[in-house]
Chain A
Amino acid sequence: MARLLVLVLCLLVLLSTGAIAGRRGGCCTKYSSSVLPIERVRGFSIQTRRGNCNLDAIILHTVKGKHVCVDPLQNWVIGIVNKLKAKVQDLRQKKQNHK
């Protein structure tokens, strides 16, 4: 009985260590106080409180691959987001016209 218990326990531990590969992505918990120049921003993603994060935020991706959490209600953020969206639309149009 004891041997069986140890066996099952080892199996459980092994199973769970083998499965460690996955990793949960992080969340923005605070907004940045700095303003980023648009040339430094490559793209953005939107975080909402609908899922596993609790703060509504825009995650700006810098050209160096960093993530900066910003307030979606700030004017400069809205500006960047709109410009990037327009560029993305533009690119998509061009791509379709090429075909």
Chain B
Amino acid sequence: MLPYSILELQRKAKMANMSEYNDTSLFENDNDTYPGAVDLCLPEEWFQKFLPLYIHPIICMTGLLGNILVIITYSFYKKAKSMTDVYLLNVAVADILFVIALPLIIYNQYSGWTMGDFICKLLRGTYSVNLYSGILLLACISGDRYLAIVQARRSFRIRSSTLVYSHITCFAVWLLALIISMPTFIYSSKYSTRQPYYSIGGFLNATGELEYYDDLPQVDNVCFFMFEDNETASLMKVLVPSTQMVVGFFLPLVVMGFCYTSVLITLLRAKNFQRHKAVRVVLTVVVVFVLCHLPYNLALLYHTITQFEQMECSHSKSIMATLTVTEMLAYLHCCLNPLLYAFVGVKFRNHFRKILEDLWCIGKGYITTRRPSSWVTSEMCLSSRRSVDGSFSDKGASFSM
């Protein structure tokens, strides 16, 4: 507090020296209130800062863990055989990149963006690319399941003959996500929230230049959109969230809705002993997608419509808080993808079990080398591994969605 008061005194002294502007009111001791005056609206600390602080690490850790397990399982124990496998692997990659970008963005938000302008563009761009590709790939998975189950006869030859189609689709999805994210990459930049300040006294520095000073509430760097003029800002501040709502939610929702409804109808007609499980899986996938993304998209829609209107500070704060909370819910989806798509499959779970057992055996092996007396455990490992391998040939257990 002390340095500030010294500055204040210096400032007052300087102003007092300027006879032309003998602003005596500066020393008057009135309360300085004006009816109807509106102050700056500061962001809500609790929702914007402290809640994300405890929720985001959890999202990052679980998202990282689940998706790394998916990638490990696919890369070491299972060659991506079906189209769905290729999509699932790509979803896991998108989710991992997303949860890696997330803590870096959060860290920089807290530290007043200590990293550079390019990192700002790169992180926000990466975040956007992976958001789109992750969700669009989920729509592709629904399309793949539709082809496999509803158009089974027609698609059999295509699906069994080549994986090229799924690779092309994935490439197209990543490219589309990249193109849609270009505005975010181009217009994001690191800048100071400190606005040019014009003052009548005492703030010219030694060289006669107008000096900025920290009069506005503690200002620091942010990484956000910055447009060259108001017209571009008005356009892009509507266009970017609109694209996000349409391509990142509405379009995938329509595709998933159509594909999974057709799948459900086909499944309910079929007389398969496992159809109840399949129906449950399909419904869970759709319900979780809607629960995670609908609240955020509704909040975003409301914000996009009302953003340029005048509003009370409390109203603005509650919109921001709603966006923050619903966004967390949307982030949560990338932690749930491994569970909803990969671990739900029997085949995948068997491969995963094999990994765990191998890891356990390596651990045991490490102990046995140190304590030679317990060689029996390694023998057990070998036998258990054999039995797991055996279960793979069991075609009956390999119904995986």
Q: A residues near B, CB below 8 A?
A: 5, 8-9, 12-13, 15-17, 19-34, 36, 39-40, 42-52, 54-56, 59, 61-69, 84-85, 87-88, 91-92, 95-96, 99
- Cα distance A95–B20 in the bound complex, in angstroms: 13
Assess whether A32 is in contact with B217, with CB atoms less than 8 Å apart: no
B210 within 8 A of A: yes
Assess whether A26 is in contact with B40, with CB atoms less than 8 Å apart: yes
The answer, among B39, B230, B311, for a CB contact under 8 Å with A67, is B39
B103 within 8 A of A: yes
B68 CB → nearest A CB, Å: 12
List of B residues within 8 angstroms of A27 by Cβ: 40-41, 316
- Stretch of B115-123, B193-201, B273-281, B392-400 contacting A (4+ beta carbons < 8 Å): B193-201
List of A residues within 8 angstroms of B39 by Cβ: 66-69
Assess whether B199 is in contact with A12, with CB atoms less than 8 Å apart: no
List of B residues within 8 angstroms of A48 by Cβ: 230, 233
List of B residues within 8 angstroms of A88 by Cβ: 198-200, 210
Assess whether B220 is in contact with A23, with CB atoms less than 8 Å apart: yes
Task: Give me 17 other A-B pairs in contact (C-beta within 8 A), A36-B37, A51-B191 excluded.
Answer: A8-B61, A12-B60, A22-B110, A22-B220, A24-B222, A25-B40, A27-B41, A29-B313, A31-B310, A32-B37, A40-B25, A46-B196, A61-B215, A66-B32, A67-B40, A69-B39, A96-B208
Interface centre among B35, B38, B57 (most CB of A within 10 A): B38
- Cα distance A45–B219 in the bound complex, in angstroms: 13
Assess whether B40 is in contact with A33, with CB atoms less than 8 Å apart: no
Assess whether A9 is in contact with B308, with CB atoms less than 8 Å apart: no
Assess whether A92 is in contact with B208, with CB atoms less than 8 Å apart: yes
Residues B262-295 near A (CB distance < 8 A): none
Assess whether A21 is in contact with B103, with CB atoms less than 8 Å apart: no
List of B residues within 8 angstroms of A55 by Cβ: 308, 310
Assess whether B197 is in contact with A19, with CB atoms less than 8 Å apart: no
List of B residues within 8 angstroms of A85 by Cβ: 198
B114 CB → nearest A CB, Å: 8
Interchain residue pairs with CB less than 8 A apart (5):
A24-B43, A24-B220, A34-B36, A44-B197, A50-B227
Assess whether B225 is in contact with A52, with CB atoms less than 8 Å apart: yes
Assess whether A9 is in contact with B204, with CB atoms less than 8 Å apart: no
- Cα distance A22–B43 in the bound complex, in angstroms: 13
Assess whether B37 is in contact with A42, with CB atoms less than 8 Å apart: no
**Known contacts being A29-B310, A66-B39, A67-B40, is A49 close to B230, with CB within 8 Å?**
yes
- Cα distance A49–B196 in the bound complex, in angstroms: 14
In the A-B complex, the 8 residue pairs with the closest CB atoms: A43-B199, A22-B112, A33-B36, A64-B32, A26-B40, A34-B36, A45-B195, A26-B42
Assess whether A22 is in contact with B111, with CB atoms less than 8 Å apart: yes
- Cα distance A27–B225 in the bound complex, in angstroms: 15
List of A residues within 8 angstroms of B46 by Cβ: none
Assess whether A92 is in contact with B111, with CB atoms less than 8 Å apart: no
**Known contacts being A12-B60, A31-B310, is A25 close to B198, with CB within 8 Å?**
no
- Cα distance A85–B37 in the bound complex, in angstroms: 22
A18 CB → nearest B CB, Å: 9
The answer, among A15, A20, A45, A52, for a CB contact under 8 Å with B216, is A45
Residues B180-216 near A (CB distance < 8 A): 191, 193-201, 203-204, 208, 210, 215-216
Assess whether B196 is in contact with A50, with CB atoms less than 8 Å apart: no
B155 within 8 A of A: no
**Known contacts being A20-B49, A69-B38, is A54 close to B200, with CB within 8 Å?**
no
List of B residues within 8 angstroms of A54 by Cβ: 237, 307-308
Residues B120-144 near A (CB distance < 8 A): none
- Cα distance A24–B311 in the bound complex, in angstroms: 19
- Cα distance A21–B113 in the bound complex, in angstroms: 11
- Cα distance A32–B26 in the bound complex, in angstroms: 22
List of B residues within 8 angstroms of A21 by Cβ: 110-112
**Known contacts being A12-B60, A19-B107, is A68 close to B197, with CB within 8 Å?**
no
**Known contacts being A12-B60, A25-B218, A92-B208, is A30 close to B193, with CB within 8 Å?**
no
A87 CB → nearest B CB, Å: 5
Residues B214-255 near A (CB distance < 8 A): 215-220, 222, 224-230, 232-234, 237
